[in-house]
Amino acid sequence: MFNLLKTAVLMATITALFMAIGSLLGGRQGMMLALVIALGMNFFSYWFSDALVLKMYNAKQVDETSAPQFYRMIQELAHNAQLPMPKVYLIEEDAPNAFATGRNPEHAAVAATTGILRVLTERELRGVMAHELAHVRHRDILISTISATMAGAISMLANFAMFFGGRDSEGRSTNPVVGILVMILAPIAASLIQMAISRAREFEADRGGAEISGDPRALASALQKIHRAAQGIPLETAERHPETAQMMIMNPLSGGGLRGMFSTHPSTEERVERLLAMAAAPVAAR
């Protein structure tokens, strides 16, 4: 519940930021133009990103004949989550990772690397794939698309102001100093909020995945194994296409410290801590 509330607050914040920046830098017309352009850019991503990313990773669709154990696992978890059966894919990569994609539960796909099938036990793999199905159930692709649209519109307004000068809602020129500060800080603020939304959704998918699999400890153990393996085995496709790294159960390109603020994923330590606390809690309290 906390992460759902946090997501709602962050979405409201980035919307309010867009409206405030639009009013300050672009006026009503500039604000609407930036929003329309950003919507257009993200509309294609929302409808077709699943096919694009699966092609980027050279993912191969599998079924009950080609990967019976893995396919039946997804089938059982989807039933537990009360979701339609998604398409199932395997990716020939040594790095252990997995992701979900698709614009809604009826058009969803889950994919896992062959590396994760080798590294994890069956219990741990169930936890990981349940996490991905939780993303599907929570419609996180839609949420990330909306936040990306708002962040993109804010950056676009800043670019408009850089080339054409800022205008308030009455069409008057804004204070140059204020305009410059907003042009620099607004895209950074939008990016920080967008990343915070993504981290909140990962926490929520961990919680949802633990509920779907009924085994929080297994997911916690899986995250620790993936984290350790990721230090020595690069996810090569993600390095060539860094924009896709945010989709993974663990971002193979993220770092700690200050970079963590701009990471799409929370720290592994915090995720594991929350899952173990969930495992220790009475069932009725979950």
Domain residue spans of the chain? 2-281
DSSP state at residue 206 = H
> Does the pLDDT of residue 122 top 50, yes or no?
yes
pTM summary value: 0.80
Q: 181 or 23, which is more confident?
A: 181
pLDDT for 147 equals 76
Is 132 among the catalytic positions?
yes
Q: Which of 55-59, 125-129, 185-189 has the lowest mean pLDDT?
A: 185-189
* Mean pLDDT of the 19-41 span: 68
Considering only CA atoms, which of 75, 79, 69 is closest in space to residue 110? Answer: 75
Q: Which of 76, 122, 124, 132 is catalytic?
A: 132
* Mean pLDDT of the 100-119 span: 94
pLDDT for 43 equals 73
> Does the pLDDT of residue 224 top 80, yes or no?
yes
Q: 173-218: per-residue pLDDT in tens?
A: 555 666 677 677 778 888 888 888 889 999 999 999 999 999 999 9
> Does the pLDDT of residue 167 top 50, yes or no?
yes
CA-to-CA separations, 204 to 48, 96, 97, 107, 134, in angstroms, rounded: 25, 21, 18, 21, 8
Considering only CA atoms, which of 78, 74, 86 is closest in space to residue 122? Answer: 74
161 neighbors 179 (Cβ within 8 angstroms): yes
